[in-house]
Amino acid sequence: MSTIGDNYLEVKKRVEQAALRCGRDPKEITLVAVSKTKGVEEIRQAVEAGAHILGENKVQEIQAKYDELPGVEWHLIGHLQTNKVKYIVDKVKMIHSLDSLKLAQEIDRRCAAAGVAMDVLVEVNIGGEESKSGVAPEEAEVLCLEAAKLPNIRVKGLMTVAPVVENPQDARVYFRKMNKLFVDIKAKNYDNIDMAYLSMGMTHDFEVAIEEGANIVRVGTAIFGARNYAV
């Protein structure tokens, strides 16, 4: 059986190969190892293999693991409730899941109090799915602009979770739409908006996402194995 360290290296290699296949520099693609539901010992194996950016979708999990894993960078990738913002502004480097102005205002307020600035990505519900968070594609630009007015927020790009499809090729259309949205906003060169990152692609579809322009991929299962939500 392969170890978590082996899995991490294998995913890293697949990311690089996908980049090279489409003529991109592998160095421009960031791999976020999604460690949700996984324990510190498992996560440490990935860190020892080279993972230095960890993604979690729950505030409580970051709080629980933070002190045990010094020196890594944490990204919050799941839906964030305004009442939990205060617990993580001093712990995470980037919030991928900005989905309302109200949340942006709370992040700004808590960052001001903590004396930090936060990198954020606006989450887009590209498939228009009822079950998913994120703003509608046509609302993304306005949220970027509104968030960019807040002094302690740095708008850094867009994020999406594509609809679940059996064949990863079927996710391509969504990634392509995201990339178009990203490129369109970037081309406008708005003040205080640095369209640097397009975060999309997970275990099932990260290679297709890279082919369509992702420069952050968030991979959990392929590194850590299946999640057990019952524990």
Ligand X SMILES: *Cc1c(COP(=O)(O)O)cnc(C)c1O
Instruction: Point out which residues bind ligand X (CB under 6 A).
Output: 34, 36, 57, 77-78, 161, 202-204, 218-221
Q: Cα-Cα-Cα-Cα dihedral of 145, 216, 227, 129, to 10°?
A: 40
Distance CA 89, CA 230 (A): 29
Decide whether 17 or 113 has the Cβ nearer to ligand X.
17
Decide whether 57 or 125 has the Cβ nearer to ligand X.
57
Dihedral-angle region of residue 115 (phi above 0 means left; psi in -120 to 50 means alpha; beta otherwise):
left
Decide whether 31 or 118 has the Cβ nearer to ligand X.
31
Decide whether 78 or 137 has the Cβ nearer to ligand X.
78
Q: Least separation, in Å, of the C-beta of 28 and ligand X? A: 19
Backbone φ, ψ for residue 153 (5° rounding) = -120, 135
Q: At which residue do the structure tokens 């460690």 appear? A: 35
Q: Least separation, in Å, of the C-beta of 111 and ligand X? A: 22
Q: Least separation, in Å, of the C-beta of 223 and ligand X? A: 8
Cβ neighbours around 169 below 10 Å, total: 11
Q: Least separation, in Å, of the C-beta of 171 and ligand X? A: 12
Helix (H, G, I), strand (E, B) or coil at 186: helix
What would the two tokens of residue 56 be? 């979690």
